[in-house]
């Protein structure tokens, strides 16, 4: 059986390391028994497991954390023979992932992620910060992280994005995170990293899209405000949603109070969403996600 380049990388997985198995396939009877049987025959011990069947598409989703596998390449080959036609299977080591952060001027999300990474609270290695302003250089470099200034002024969006893309491609991160990077990315840029760019939006999507969301919320007299973390897509702020949360407000809150409270929600939601993605708990299906928490 022919393996893709990504699948051949399984060979490099250390013997008996914890593996994360993620699979999608058409649903049919006996799938769980077949998969767990294969894992058992290859010495695997399932330490965490989650399954879901979409009632509309009849697609079966499964995520398993497995210890004790000695030959991951063989396991992957056998699994492919046991699953229905059209199955998608990913098997990789549960290890820290490399992440490139992007920011503009606001420090709250960037600072929170740098602290969490520095103290081992998130399973990631921050390989750098790319920003279109210099404001966050000192914050970034205080953590010993490379800061890359990619000015957008005086050049075209295409040229500025090419500079950003060159830095990302050189670092080869697993994930790109827009920690309040306040520029709209082109379709071409997003298509270079499909479902690998995580963005935080300062409202509870799909409500209050665009500029000044907290003033919009204040003008409507809302009683809760929220934040949404999602994968970036070609349609602005409409990519697959990973995580959302809210906090209560009242008529006493002015727009600036809502914005302050909103910043706390933003960094909390972004960190939560990032953890889910880093731990391979998020599966994109169409414009939605299946999340195994």
**97, exposed or middle or buried, with CB in 10 Å at 0-12, 13-18, 19+?**
middle
| CA 111 to chain CA mean position, Å | 18
How far is Cα 50 from Cα 48, in angstroms, rounded to an integer? 7
- For CA atoms 210, 216, 222, 227, give the dihedral sign: positive
> What is the spatial distance between Cα 63 and Cα 98, in angstroms, rounded to a whole number?
21
- Give the C-alpha distances (Å, rounded to integers) separating 88 from 30, 81, 155, 289: 17, 12, 42, 15
- How is residue 78 written in tokens? 């056998």
Cross-strand bridge partners of residue 229: 200, 243
Distance of CA 145 to the CA centre of its chain: 20
Q: Is 151 a catalytic residue?
A: no
- Measure the CA–CA gap between 201 and 240, rounded to whole angstroms: 12
Who's near 91: CB < 8 A, 6+ residues apart? 7, 10, 19, 20, 21, 22, 72, 75, 76, 79
Total residue count of the chain as it appears in this document: 293
Active-site position among 67, 237, 264, 280: 237
- The answer to whether 221 and 251 are in contact (CB under 8 A) is yes
Q: Would you please indicate which residues are annotated as catalytic (active-site) residues? A: 237
């Amino acid at each position: 059986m022919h393996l893709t380049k990504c699948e051949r990388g399984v060979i490099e997985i250390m013997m008996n390391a914890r593996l994360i198995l993620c699979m999608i396939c058409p649903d049919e009877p006996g799938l769980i028994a077949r998969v767990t049987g294969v894992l058992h025959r290859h010495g695997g011990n399932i330490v965490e497991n989650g399954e879901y069947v979409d009632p509309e598409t009849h697609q079966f989703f499964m995520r398993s954390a497995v210890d004790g596998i000695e030959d991951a390449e063989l396991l992957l080959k056998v699994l492919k023979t046991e699953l229905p036609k059209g199955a998608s299977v990913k098997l990789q080591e549960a290890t820290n992932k490399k992440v490139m952060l992007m920011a503009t001027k606001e420090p709250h999300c960037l600072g929170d992620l740098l602290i969490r990474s520095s103290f081992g609270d998130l399973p990631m290695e921050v390989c750098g910060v790319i920003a279109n302003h210099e404001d966050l250089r000192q914050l970034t470099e205080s953590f010993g992280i490379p800061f890359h200034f990619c000015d957008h002024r005086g050049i075209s969006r295409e040229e500025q994005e090419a500079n950003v893309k060159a830095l990302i491609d050189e670092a080869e991160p697993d994930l790109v995170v827009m920690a309040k990077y306040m520029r709209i990315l082109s379709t071409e840029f997003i298509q270079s990293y499909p479902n690998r760019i995580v963005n935080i939006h300062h409202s509870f999507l799909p409500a209050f899209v665009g500029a000044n969301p907290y003033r919009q919320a204040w003008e409507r007299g809302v009683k809760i405000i929220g934040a949404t973390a999602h994968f970036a897509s070609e349609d602005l702020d409409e990519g697959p949603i990973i995580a959302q949360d809210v906090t209560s407000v009242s008529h006493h809150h002015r727009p600036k109070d809502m914005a302050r409270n909103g910043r706390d929600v933003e960094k909390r939601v972004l960190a939560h969403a990032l953890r889910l993605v880093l731990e391979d708990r998020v599966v994109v299906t169409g414009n939605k996600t299946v999340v195994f928490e």
